[in-house]
Amino acid sequence: MIGLLGFVALWALGRWRGWGASWLALAAGWWVILLLAHLPFQAENPLAGIVGGDFGGWIVFGMLAAAVLGYREVLRAVRRRKAVAPSETAPSGAFREAELDRYARHILLREIGGPGQKRLKGAKVLVVGAGGLGSPVLLYLAAAGVGVIGVIDHDVVEGSNLQRQVIHTDGRIGMPKVFSAEVAMRALNPFIEVRPYHRQLTEEIAVDLVRDYDLVLDGTDDFETRYLVNRACVAAGVPLISGAITQWEGQVSLFDPAKGGPCYACVFPVKPAAGLVPTCAEAGVAAPLPGIIGSMMAMEAVKWVTGAGEGLAGRLVIHDALYTETRVIGVKRRADCEVCGGRH
């Protein structure tokens, strides 16, 4: 009886302290002591009198205990395999258990929910530029679970970028920005596909590249590229979310002439004269401003993909960070637009 009480005490202590398999080793040691105390060739062992029983009885008890514990471990192994199998063999488009946990806050939103998160997983979004605006855009699209994210940029990371381009790090100075961004995005969300294009966006490749995607976000800082991206999006029938910043001010809009809205050239038909709108490198920019405008762009992308809320088609947001003022103005399509006029 005392021997059995010892086993029960060890089991209870192990469960209480969370020892896992450690208590089994202690119990096995206790069983060996009991066997030694009851060896048949011993004339008389005082310990045997204390713990009671006999050698044969403890042998049978040990074998039964081993069988029970072995059966329990087999059941646990089967349950673990059953729990893991669905995530490893999940059909295309289905969510792994880890993804459901990751996107739980989205799924709880009535406007997104499970169907919206599935649309994000199936979406293909191209981001032009991995600089100030591209940094928050890429990070938030990755975090939100956009299934395929393309990023095109010909530049490399420089020390002067790190004041505002938060996707890059000091240790990646000299690395192409698209590959630096890929490192950060994959570290943030291993369940997405990143397509980096380390090259200049040109007229020859723009339309074919854009056609591979459902939505384009442009965060470049030169007007030549902005107009090129707009022409490619109009030609491919792909909506464009465009953002721009300088010093303390930024703006965002969604251009989708295929749905009756204006294109970028409808709102800005003429490129500003040289020097009229200086770049960030020429005029400077407040560090958090790209984060504000880039986050707005990412938010508009999530809304467009999921169908949540009201997008910025036909509206232009202008944010003045210096005085903390935000204005929204209406913009219209121009029938005489050289890019989209009469096209749809």
Angle at CA of residue 201, ends 295 and 243, nearest 5°: 25
Residue spans of the domains in the chain: they are: 2-88, 113-330
Q: What is the pLDDT of residue 34?
A: 55
Q: What is the pLDDT of residue 282?
A: 75
CATH superfamily placement of domain 113-330: NAD(P)-binding Rossmann-like Domain (3.40.50.720)
Core vs surface per residue 288-317: b (16+ CB within 10 A) or e: ebbbbbbbbbbbbbbbbbbebeebbbbebb
Write down the pTM of the prediction: 0.73
Q: What is the pLDDT of residue 87?
A: 38
Average pLDDT for consecutive 10-residue bins of the chain (344 residues)? Answer: 51 50 55 56 54 57 66 62 42 82 96 96 97 98 98 97 97 98 97 97 97 97 94 97 96 96 94 73 90 98 97 97 97 93 61
Q: What is the pLDDT of residue 19?
A: 46
- Please write down the long-range contacts of 51-58, taking CB distance under 8 Å and 24 or more positions apart: 51/2, 51/3, 51/6, 52/1, 52/2, 52/3, 53/3, 58/3, 58/31, 58/34
Give the integer Cα–Cα distance in Å for 275 and 46: 102
Q: What is the pLDDT of residue 1?
A: 47
Helix locations, 18-54, DSSP H: 22-37, 46-51
**How many CB atoms are located within 10 Å of the residue 332 CB?**
10
